[in-house]
């Protein structure tokens, strides 16, 4: 009697194939990247790690297709601890519905981690974008495993931004990508962990440009710089840490 090992558990897959599970996939907006992502898109119910050498290389522009898609579907986009906050017209020019964007800022790293866990447990978001504190005690394997477990119980996308040096550390995240600036308008993406075979080569991604701005015009370039530039202040109203046990988003 023969049987298919892949039917034993959704977390099982053959080494030469892409793994699959019961999570919904949301297209990344990049055909070549989706072809390499198990299931053909970003997985919900999982931590997705984006590893950067430094902030402002275009990581938010890289995620603009999914930001726009989910916001137009009236799903909440929650950013916690974002170090670079763009001006509201920038989001508008990229077609993101501003009424679905929520920023949470806390002064203490412990409060940021608390806020992340509360949002994950609330399961009321379409996508959560979190910048973890860099303190070792607050970004330990135990903490990451807890966040991964909480992500599996939610319906949304959970993106976590970490320093590039974290790539040598073990992580429970099902998907890990290293992002490197190729040019002002492109990123080189290397999948260092996925449910599937090792991908030796990196993927070149052309970053999206603002809608309503012609390519390579001063207006287009100004908006692009505004999204990545660190010194800009935000017109969004950040949400402070509440005193209760839950965060309303």
Name the pTM for this structure.
Answer: 0.79
Tokens of 159: 């993106």
Average pLDDT, the chain: 81
Q: What is the pLDDT of residue 233?
A: 35
Average pLDDT rounded to a whole number, residues 215-240? 46
Does residue 148 carry a pLDDT above 50?
A: yes
Tokens of 191: 């999948």
Does residue 169 carry a pLDDT above 60?
A: yes
Average pLDDT rounded to a whole number, residues 47-53? 96
Tokens of 89: 């017209």
Does residue 227 carry a pLDDT above 70?
A: no
Nearest-angstrom CA–CA distance, 95 and 80: 21
Q: What is the pLDDT of residue 23?
A: 79
Average pLDDT rounded to a whole number, residues 78-97? 86
Domains recognised in the chain with CATH numbers:
22-228 (3.40.50.300)
Sheet containing 186-193: which strands, arranged edge to edge?
A: 101-104, 77-80, 127-131, 157-163, 47-52, 175-183, 186-193, 203-206
The 10s digit of each residue's pLDDT in 4-32 is: 545 554 554 454 444 555 679 999 999 99
Nearest-angstrom CA–CA distance, 190 and 90: 27
């Amino acid at each position: 009697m023969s049987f298919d090992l892949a039917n034993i558990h959704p977390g099982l897959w053959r080494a030469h194939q892409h793994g699959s599970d019961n999570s919904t996939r949301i297209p990344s907006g990049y055909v070549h990247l989706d072809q390499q992502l198990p299931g053909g898109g970003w997985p919900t119910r999982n931590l997705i790690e984006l590893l950067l050498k430094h902030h402002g290389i275009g990581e938010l522009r890289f995620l603009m297709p999914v930001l726009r898609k989910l916001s137009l579907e009236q799903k909440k986009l929650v950013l916690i601890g974002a170090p670079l906050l763009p001006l509201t017209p920038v989001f508008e020019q990229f077609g993101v519905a501003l009424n679905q964007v929520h920023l949470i800022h806390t002064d203490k790293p412990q409060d940021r981690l608390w806020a992340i866990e509360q949002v994950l447990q609330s399961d009321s978001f379409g996508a959560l974008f979190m910048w973890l504190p860099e303190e070792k005690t607050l970004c330990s394997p135990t903490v990451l495993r807890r966040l991964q477990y909480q992500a599996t119980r939610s319906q949304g996308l959970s993106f976590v931004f970490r320093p590039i040096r974290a790539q040598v550390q073990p992580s429970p995240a099902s998907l890990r990508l290293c992002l490197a600036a190729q040019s002002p308008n492109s990123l080189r993406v290397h999948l260092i962990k996925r449910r599937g075979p090792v991908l030796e080569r990196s993927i070149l991604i052309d970053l999206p440009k603002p809608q309503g701005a012609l390519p390579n015009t001063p207006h287009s370039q100004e908006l692009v710089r505004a999204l990545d530039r660190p010194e800009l202040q935000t017109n969004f109203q950040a949400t402070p840490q509440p005193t209760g046990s839950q965060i309303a988003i």
